[in-house]
A and B are shown apart, each in its own frame.
Chain A
Amino acid sequence: MTPDEEKEFIRRRKQRNLVIGLLLAGFVILFYAITIVRMGD
């Protein structure tokens, strides 16, 4: 792997990690909200 390829590899991995992290955080908030709403039923 050339230095340029390695740089691109790290950039893509970083972006994917960021997107997955944001999605997981979103689901944590969503499940929290669903729980609160369901407890009020």
Chain B
Amino acid sequence: MTSTLAPTATPLPAEWRDFFALTKPRVMSLVVFTGLCGLLAAPGSIHPVLGFTAILCIAMGAGGAAALNQWWEADIDAKMKRTAKRPLPAGRLRRQDARDFGMLMSGASVFIMLVAIHWLAALVLAFSIVYYAVIYTMWLKPRTPQNIVIGGGAGAFPPLIGWIAVTGEITAMPVLLFAIIFIWTPPHFWALALFVKTDYADAGIPMMPVVAGEKSTRYQVLAYSVLLLGVALLPWIIGGTDLIYGIAALALSALFVALAVPVGLRTSQPEDNMKPEKRLFGYSVIYLFALFTALVADRMVLS
């Protein structure tokens, strides 16, 4: 009998580093940062050990969801230059090991959050994992060019969970922190998608520049940036923060809009160096770090 099965991709057991890479450490650093800011900005206090545990759970949940995302998308990742070297498409890890690792991390994070911190924090953490791994990755990402808007919701959960870990309730302020990251994600990611769009087209992901065209994507980047200016100011307007945050949010968001204007209104030429898009993308990361730092600084001065 002849076997038509392909030879096993991994004759050797995977390195621990490959499992670590499954958790998307760079995304996780932003998740840990925004989660920590939510925790520090919340009114009230939490014991440092419990605060550390809450952040660890948020990080583990994000890592588990990232592993499940890569388990599901291994075939897509193999088709894109940016992701082809990830452990699964590169054949350094077995697919079912990535799935099991993701399930274990996700389950453990929710369980520890439940027994050590608060049931509501655990519930929102569990929902955020399902939202990213199932609703976004499996269901909507391959089906709609609004995938980034929806995916932004997944990235917006950490400060909300950090806040709930301290207060045990959902109020207007943590929902606004959620809204800020939610509205920030489309201009952040579409700026990137504008200069790497060929990759997504090859992989069959309906990314906005591919589906709706470059012009429409550019308008949307600008529209979301203007919306972000308004949403970022809301925590100050409703009196949830003081002047430090208010001034920082105004200055940082105004610069965001200023950088988004050339991206929104120009048309790229063949062999375009895409400088405004790369500049907006680079600044968008700094923006989020700076805005949340201002939020925590504001809270520290208030108390």
Contacts and interface: CB of A to CB of B under 8 A. Distances in A.
Given A15-B16, A16-B16, A19-B16, A34 B116 contact: yes
A12 B14 CA distance: 7
A34 B11 contact: no
A34 B12 contact: no
Interface of A: 5, 8-9, 12-13, 15-16, 19, 30, 33-34, 37-38
User: Chain B CB within 10 Å — which of A12, A34, A38 has the most?
Assistant: A34
B49 A34 contact: yes
The 7 tightest CB contacts between A and B, nearest first, are: A19-B16, A33-B49, A34-B116, A37-B49, A37-B47, A12-B13, A16-B16
Q: How large is the interface on B (under 10, 10 to 19, 20 to 34, 35 or more residues)?
A: 10 to 19
Interface of B: 11-16, 47, 49-50, 53, 56, 116
B116 A38 contact: yes
A33 B48 CA distance: 10
A30 B16 contact: no
B13 A13 contact: yes
7 contacts: A5-B12, A9-B12, A16-B14, A16-B15, A33-B49, A34-B49, A34-B116
